[in-house]
Amino acid sequence: MRPEETDSPRIEREGIVWRVRSASAARQVLRERRTTTQAGFTAEWIPKGYLKHHPILMSDGPQHDGQRTKVGRFFAPRVVEERYLGLMESCAERLLPSGAGEVQLDDLALLYTVEVTAEAVGLTESPVPAMAGRLVSFFNQPPFDLTKPRLGRTPQQWALAAKNGLWPIMRFWWADVRPAVRARRRERRTDVISHLIDEGYTDADILVECVTYGTAGMVTTREFIAMAAWHLLGNDPLRERYLIAGQRERLAILNEIIRLEPVVGHLYRRVQQPVTFTDQGESFTADPGDLIDLCIRPANADVDVVGDDPLQLCPGRPLPSGVNEAVLSFGDGAHKCPGQPLAMLESDVLLHRLLAREVTIVSEPTIEWDDLIAGYALRGFHLRLD
């Protein structure tokens, strides 16, 4: 949790900003279909007039629901395992040193997640290391606060944001997205870009979707791999259990880690019509224009949902019917992340091979915080493999 954040009270209001730390109340808000709209990931600051299709992560309503259903077929658990497991295994074997050596896990995980996810999205016409560097450059932005007018930025910071944002997007288009789109206009493949072309998406639409998958998919999985490795390397009994377990139990362990360490720490919804939610028998109503900040980390540790010892890592803990193993780490409702099966399986494939080696931590990672994903970034995680 960031130093300035707190885990209480369960429901808090400051002006037009609501902070919700209750898991049940957060689920109610996320499952509201028409009364709130996406406000996270700077969604309200993306111009809508230039795009025929608003990005799936940023949109709401029937168009979003239909598009999410169609894209979801690329990330269904069975599809992910049948289509991408072999790629994950070969990529992990290639990136990990065959003998003794040192690796910086956060860099290795970036190359790995970009290569795997790029195959599903269709960004396969450019070298992975170069594309990974371009994706990382999207995060070189001045700080902002979604709860403040104009994101709390000064005019100078807005100018810097425009400068730092435009050039990486142009490079990403010319080097990565444009070649992939041209190849798929000539011959369709089984990937997201081919699907978007069939749906009539313009080049600009496809570019924005690829930016979304790159930042919200590839880069966030990189952070979780490093965090999960940190937990498992610091807990010998858990690591031993993870190494001898079958896939289902290993995924349960990883889902419990991401419950405790959600990569995206906050989800934001803007109220369009009065929305009422309840917590522990008390009712609350947010008015149009209000901003609801769903605080995922404390919500994932809500004793009313996850039971006793909510801050303890307890894989397979009993949860109420309908509650995901990761609780709200991948969202809920219409905007629940469809990439959860891909993210967890690719994390497991790399971590299982890594931790089967004799691993020593050379230097522990530093924790940084990123405003775009409202979550953590681990850097400088050096390991020695013997």
The backbone torsions φ and ψ at residue 284, rounded to the nearest 5 degrees and listed phi first, read -135, 145
Whose tokens are 């009712």? That residue is: 283
What is the C-alpha to C-alpha distance for residues 310 and 330, in angstroms, rounded to an integer? 18
Q: 83 lies in a domain?
A: yes
Residue 90 inside a domain? The answer is yes
Is there a domain that residue 1 lies in? Answer: no
In a domain, 284, yes or no: yes
Say what the pTM is.
Answer: 0.94
Beta partners for residue 294, in sequence order: 20, 267
Overall domain count for the chain? 1
Q: How far apart, in Å, are the Cα atoms of 315 and each of 245, 279, 306?
A: 12, 26, 11
83, 85, 88, 89 alpha-carbon torsion, rounded to 10°: -140
Q: Are 348 and 247 in contact (CB under 8 A)?
A: yes
Helices (H), ranges, the chain: 23-30, 62-72, 77-95, 105-121, 128-137, 155-172, 178-186, 192-198, 203-213, 220-233, 236-244, 247-260, 296-300, 303-306, 340-355
Asked if residue 2 is part of any domain, the answer here is: no
Helix, strand, or coil (residue 292): strand
What is the total residue count of the chain? Answer: 386
Domain of residue 364, residue span: 11-385
Burial annotation 188-213 (CB, 10 A radius, 16+ → b, else e) = eeebbbbbbbeeebeeebbbbbbbbb
Q: Which residues of the chain have pLDDT under 50?
A: none
Q: What are the residues facing 11 on neighbouring strands?
A: 20
CB 131 within 8 A of CB 174: no
Strands 366-370 and 382-385: unpaired
Q: Is the peptide bond before 298 cis (omega within 30 degrees of 0)?
A: no
CB 367 within 8 A of CB 232: no
Phi/psi zone of residue 287: left (φ > 0), alpha (ψ -120 to 50 degrees), beta?
A: beta
Chain centroid to CA 307: 25
State residue 57's pLDDT score.
63
Rounded to whole angstroms, the Cα distance separating 218 from 139 reads 13
Between strands 375-379 and 366-370, the pairing is antiparallel
The encoded tokens of residue 334 equal 């219409």
The label of the residue with tokens 């979604």 reads: 146
On whether residue 292 sits in a domain, the answer given is: yes
* pLDDT value of residue 14: 95
Q: Is 196 inside any structural domain?
A: yes
**CATH code for position 92:** 1.10.630.10
Torsion 188-343-205-118 (CA) sign: negative
C-alpha distances out from residue 85 to 40, 70, 152, Å: 31, 22, 43
> How high is the pLDDT of residue 285?
97
Q: What pLDDT score does 54 carry?
A: 64
